[in-house]
Amino acid sequence: MMKNLKNLQMKDNIMTDDELYFAIHNKAYSKISFIEMELESLKKEIAAGSYTQEMIDNQIRFNERELQVWKTILHLNK
């Protein structure tokens, strides 16, 4: 099942099941990593200037929900 992603080939612009599996896995893993880094940064954020603590808290909640969605996508792709 493991393939070198550099050798992805599309026939008639349709991905094989293996290609689609790896594309979904890589996109979800990348998104999860980015959201986790963003959450770390937001949790250290201090309300200042035009950013209130409420705005920061809302961003944290939004990112936590996004993280849950992407983790579910990754899990369902197994």
Q: pLDDT higher for 49 or 27? A: 27
Domain extents for the chain?
36-78
Q: What tens digit of pLDDT does each residue of 26-38 get?
A: 999 999 999 999 9
pLDDT of residue 49: 86
pTM of the predicted model as reported, rounded to 2 decimal places: 0.77
Distance (Å, rounded) from C-alpha 17 to C-alpha 31? 21
Q: Does the pLDDT of residue 9 top 60, yes or no?
A: no
Judged against a pLDDT cut of 60, whether residue 10 lies above it is answered with no
Reply yes or no on whether the pLDDT at 4 is more than 70: no
C-alpha dihedral sign at 12, 16, 19, 24: positive
